[in-house]
Copies of this chain bind each other. A is one copy, B any other.
Amino acid sequence: MTAIKESSTIQENKLYNRSECPVIYVMDKIGGYWKPVILFHLLKGGKRYNELRKLIPTITEKMLIQNLKQLEADGIVRREAKAVVPPYVTYYLTTAGEGLRPVLYAMASWALEDQQNTKGAPAKQLKDFPA
Residue ranges of A at the interface with B (Cβ–Cβ < 8 Å): 12-14, 16-27, 29, 31, 33, 36-37, 39-40, 58, 75, 96, 99-100, 102-115, 117-118, 121-122, 124, 129
Q: Which of B22, B36, B102 contacts A23 (CB 8 A)?
A: B36
Q: Is the CB of A23 within 8 A of B108?
A: yes
Q: List 6 A-B contacts (CB under 8 A).
A: A12-B58, A19-B124, A22-B107, A22-B129, A23-B104, A102-B106
SS class, residues of chain A in contact with chain B: helix
Alpha-carbon distance A125/B85, docked complex (angstroms)? 49
Min Cβ gap A14→B in Å is 7
Q: Whose C-beta in chain B lies nearest to the C-beta of A58?
A: B13
Alpha-carbon distance A39/B21, docked complex (angstroms)? 11
Min Cβ gap A83→B in Å is 29
Q: Which of B23, B112, B117 contacts A40 (CB 8 A)?
A: B23
